[in-house]
Amino acid sequence: MNLNKRENLILAVAALCITVLIANKFIITPMIDTYHTRTTDISKLKADLERGHYLIKREKDISEDLKKMLASSLPDDTTVVEKQMFAAIERWKGASSLNITAQTPRWEKDVGGDIPIQAKINKLEIKISATGTIQSIARFLYEMETDPLALRVEDVEITSRDSKGQNLTLESRVTGLVIAQEGGK
C-alpha cells in the first residue's frame, strides 16, 4: 500500500487519538477513581484516628463512668429487681393517691446489642395502668421520674374517662436495665 505524506500523517494522528482514548478509558480514569477513593478512605481514617486519640485521653473518665453505671444498675437477681420495682411503684402510688389497676412485668433477655462490655444486659419492662385526676397523674409521673432507681419511662398515654376530663386513665411503660457482668458483679 502506497500512502502519501498526508495520509501517513492522518493515520498517525488517528492512531494517536485511539491510543489516548484507550489509555484514558483503561488507565487514567481508573487511576483517578482509585485516587478519589483512597483520599476519601484516608480522611475517614484520620477522623477515626482523632476519635481514637480522644477516647484514649478520656479512658480514665469513661472507665469511671462505666463503673458508676454498673454499680447503679439494678441487681442481678430477677426476684430482687421485681421487688424493688414494685416497691417503687407503691411509693409513687402512695405519694400521688393514684389508683393502680394493673402492673404487668415482662423480661427481655440479652438486650445489650453491640455494647462493648463483658456483660449480659437484661431489661425488665413493667406496664402500668392507673386511674385518677390530672393532679394525681402528674404527681405519679413526677415521682416516677425523680426516683433514685435507674429506670426509664418509655411510654406515657393519658386518656379521659369522662366528658369533663376529671377522671383520667394512665397507661405507662417503665424499664430498668439489669447488667450482669461475666464472673459476677
**Residue spans of beta strands (DSSP E) within 68-165:** 99-108, 119-132, 151-160
What pLDDT was estimated at residue 185? 42
What's the CATH number of domain 74-181, 3.40.50.1390, 3.30.70.60, 3.30.420.40, 3.40.190.10?
Answer: 3.30.70.60
Neighbouring-strand partners of residue 130: 100, 170
Does residue 115 register a pLDDT over 90? no
Q: Locate 99 and state its grid cell.
A: 389508683
What pLDDT was estimated at residue 4? 87
What pLDDT was estimated at residue 51? 93
Among 89-103, 111-125, 150-164, name the most confident range.
89-103
What pLDDT was estimated at residue 70? 72
Does residue 183 register a pLDDT over 60? no
Does residue 44 register a pLDDT over 50? yes
Q: Give 69 or 38, the one with higher predicted confidence.
A: 38
Average pLDDT score over the chain: 86
What pLDDT was estimated at residue 65? 82
Q: Grade residue 147 by pLDDT with cuts at 50, 70 and 90.
A: confident
What is the rounded distance in angstroms from the CA atom of residue 165 to the CA atom of residue 161? 7
Average the pLDDT over each of 64-78, 112-126, 137-151 and give the range with the smallest value: 112-126
**Residue spans of beta strands (DSSP E) within 34-150:** 99-108, 119-132
Average the pLDDT over each of 23-27, 105-109, 119-123 and give the range with the smallest value: 119-123
Does residue 39 register a pLDDT over 50? yes
Compute the average pLDDT of residues 12-23. Answer: 93
**Residue spans of beta strands (DSSP E) within 1-117:** 99-108
